[in-house]
Structure 1
Amino acid sequence: MLAWFAVGVLGLSGQVRFFCEDETRIGLKTISGRKITAPGVKPKGKVQWQFRATYLYGIVEPTTGAHFFSEFTHCNTDCFPVFLNLVAQHFADSILIIQLDQAGCHRAKRLQIPPNIILMFQPSHSPETNPIEQVWQHLKRGLCWQLPKTLDELRLLVRERLQQMTQAVIRSIVGRASILEALSVAGL
């Protein structure tokens, strides 16, 4: 329906693609997780409680694993349109239908949406419907028990982790059978 609307009503041209978008905060506070120890031995790990953080914005395409990530200092109505413009430039030859949550910065009245992007809002309080949430979990699992001293060290760790996440890896994380089936029925 949205693909028909984009091509038939809006008169846009290009390949219609479906993406999922979200933001996540990554900071210097230690991400804890499971540790393997001998039976009966309580796991121990050093932690730090610094509250300096950065935000990672991203989109992923469930059918192909195509993705685009960008770092910003905040998650707000000033940074989100900049991210949308970067996405629109990166995928300039396509019409993008982007599923996202109903965060305030996504629904701001002054938000300027690029012409090749159509926003599709998911139901409120339902992060489980957005597959990019699993990408963030996968990213953060690789950062467990890391102790970067500065935001620059953290950025380097995140960049290394994102480079390991190829299209095939992302497709395996977000390519749920139910989503792929729905997209094939929709012709996307």
Structure 2
Amino acid sequence: MNPNISEQLLALSRKEPNARKRMRLLAVSLFYEGNSRTDIAKRLNTARSSVNKWVSSYLENGLGGLDNKPIQGRPSRLQPQQLEQLSEFIKRTNTELQGGRLTGEDIVHYIHTEFGVHYHLNHVYKILKQLGFSWITSRSKHPKQSLQSQDAFKKFQLETILHTPGHLPLDRIDVWFQDEARFGQQNPTTRIWAETGTRPRIVKQQQFDYGYLFGAVCPATGQTEALVSPFVNKEAMTQHMRQISHATPAGRHAVVIIDGAGWHTYDTASEFKNLTLIKLPPYSPELNPIEQVWSWIRQHCLSNRVFSGYDEIVDEVSKAWNHFISIPDRVKKMCNREWIKLI
């Protein structure tokens, strides 16, 4: 017998994480040490027929003969075209304008009605996972939202050329996203770590003091500008545009993407020669990554909180914003979108 092969197989068995394959490697290693197959079976507390099969498989196929064989399992009672039909049904139902949602029981009923096959609910969940579906939180969508308008807007290079001064090359234009959010004493409560089986109670205020955080980010550079105001109007919007204008280096131009709020008017930027506003399509908040910033701030900093009044709201909102922007790479990663790249 070859001791070198035995030592190599023994070394592989020590590194192998899978217990079954480790057993096979060890058995063949003992075989190459000169042990009989009967002795190997007794030593490893396994059947001699198994040792015979492992040794023969190694002799015929090398190390590949000791790999785990895929478990076939019972063949699916649904044909591939039926699984595809089920997948399309789920996708189509989730995008209907009437709304609603499919439950596991609905899918059990659909499979039985369409294909004459009855599955237990737990098995349906396995099928959904195999098809690539998960039970996840949905995002809101306005009934009047137009995907065509959104796709057209994402041709952002043309949109930018049409709205900015013609003498500016695209490599001197910085794209910003801007929005506002209200924070105050009517704060949401969120999930917390607690003992299994309990439902902890969190204080939720009933007062109505609040403030508005105006925020803007430039994903390419990680720059940010923000202000907190007790109200939202064109005056506050103009002040925020002034901040972005001052933050834009000489020789560069800022394109600020905004939504269609009533105080988001083009004249709030008219006095700033290095700044242009471009509006998102109607009912398209998901195109503005600032929405994710607001969610991050609420989840990480401001949920489950109690505020004594407006002054404390301003202080805590400012701290939350500064915490978010303290890592520029976080700003860039969360707010970057492929379609805003101009060059």
TM-score normalised by the chain length of structure 2: 0.48
Query: Of 41, 53, 70, which aligns to 2:210?
Result: 53
In structure 1, the partner of 2:292 is 134
Give runs of ≥4 in structure 1 deviating > 3 Å.
Answer: 3-7, 11-14
Q: Which residue type is aligned with residue 135 of structure 1?
A: V
Asked if the contact 2:237/2:263 (under 8 Å) is kept, the reply is yes
How far, CA to CA, are the matches of 1:82 and 1:14 in structure 2?
Answer: 26
2:282 to 124, 130, 134: 124
Deviations 1:93-113, CA, capped at 9 Å, x for gaps:
2300111101111126x5452
Equivalent residue, structure 1, for 2:38 = none
**Structure (1 or 2) with the greater helix fraction:** 2
Q: SS at the partner of 1:96?
A: strand
Q: Distance in 2 between matches of 1:63 and 1:116?
A: 17
**Structure 2 residue matching 1:70: 3-state secondary structure:** strand
Aligned to 1:160: 319
Relative to structure 1, the CA distance from residue 13 to residue 133 in structure 2 (aligned partners, 3 Å threshold; closer, same or farther) is: closer
Matched length: 180
Aligned mates of 2:306, 2:174 — CA distance in 1: 38
Q: Does 1:169 align with 2:326?
A: no
Q: Which residue of 1 aligns with 2:84?
A: none
CA distance in 1, matches of 2:169, 2:340: 20
TM-score, normalisation: structure 1: 0.85
Q: Give the counterpart of 2:187 among 30, 37, 47.
A: 30
Letter paired with 2:310: L
Please state how far the C-alpha of 1:90 moved relative to its aligned partner: 2.3
When Rg is computed on C-alpha atoms for both structures, the one with the higher figure is: 2
* Other-structure match for 1:149: 308
What is the CA–CA distance in structure 2 between the aligned matches of 1:12 and 1:173, rounded to whole Å?
Answer: 26
1:86 matched residue in structure 2: 243
Q: CA deviation at 1:6?
A: 3.2
Deviation, structure 1 residue 123: 0.8
Contact kept, 8 Å, 1:12 with 1:95, in 2: the verdict is no
From 17, 28, 31, the equivalent of 2:174 is 17
Secondary structure of the equivalent of 2:313?
Answer: helix
What's 2:80 paired with? none
- How well do the aligned residues superpose, as a CA RMSD in angstroms? 2.3
- Tell whether the 8 Å contact from 2:225 to 2:243 is kept in structure 1 after alignment: no
Runs of 5+ consecutive residues of structure 1 not aligned to the other structure: none
Change (3 A) 1:18 1:171: same
Shift of 1:13: 11
Residue 213 of structure 2 contacts residue 317 of structure 2 at CA under 8 Å; is this kept in 1? no
3-state DSSP class of the match of 2:255? strand
Task: Determine the structure 2 residue equivalent to 1:6.
Answer: 164
Q: Which residue of 1 aligns with 2:253?
A: 95
Instruction: Measure the CA separation in 1 of the matches of 2:316 and 2:233.
Output: 24
Listed as ranges, the gaps of 5+ residues in structure 2 are 1-157
User: 132-141 or 34-43, which moves further after superposition?
Assistant: 34-43
SS of equivalent to 1:21: strand
Amino acid at match of 2:217: V
What are the Cα deviations for residues 74-106 of structure 1, in whole angstroms up to 9, with x where unaligned? 111222112112221222523001111011111
Q: Which aligned pairs between 1:98-113 and structure 2 lie closer than 5 A?
A: 98-107=256-265, 111-113=268-270
Higher relative contact order (CA 8 A, sep 6+): 1
CA gap 1:102/1:4 in 2 versus in 1, 3 angstroms: closer
CA contact (8 A) 2:269 2:276 kept: no
Please identify which structure carries the higher strand content. 1
